[in-house]
Amino acid sequence: AAVNLEEWEDDKHLMSVYDWSQFYEKHETYQFMGVLINSKYYDENGEETDVRKDIVERASKAKIIADKEKEARKKARLEKRKADREKNMKK
C-alpha cells in the first residue's frame, strides 16, 4: 500500500523516514545511486518537488524540537541526581 507521507500529522514520524533516507544517502557501504525522477518527490529534472521540500522542512523542524526535548530531559535527570546526592549527603 502506498503511504502518503505528506498526509502524516505527526512530524516526528516524518523525522524517522527522513533520517532513514539520509542514512542510505551518506552510508559508506550503501552507494547512493540517485533519485527516482518524475515521482511525487523529484521532478523530471531530478529536482525536489514541493511535496518533498515540505516533508524535509517538517522533519527538520521535528528533529530540532526532539533534540531540544531530549536535552531538557537529560538536564532534568542530571539536576535530579545532583539534588538527590545533596539530600543524601545532608542525612
pLDDT of residue 1: 47
What pTM did the predictor assign?
A: 0.68
For the chain, how long is the longest CA-to-CA vector?
71
Residue in this structure with the C-alpha cell 538527590, named with its chain if needed: 84
pLDDT, the chain, mean: 85
Mean pLDDT by 10 residues, the chain (91 residues): 74 82 80 79 91 90 91 96 88 69
User: What are the respective helix, strand and coil percentages of the chain, to the nearest 5?
Assistant: 65, 0, 30
CB contact set of 55 (below 8 Å; sequence gap of 6+): 5, 6, 14, 17, 18, 41
Q: For the chain, where are the alpha helices, taking DSSP H only?
A: 11-26, 50-90
Nearest to 55 by CA among 24, 25, 27, 16: 16
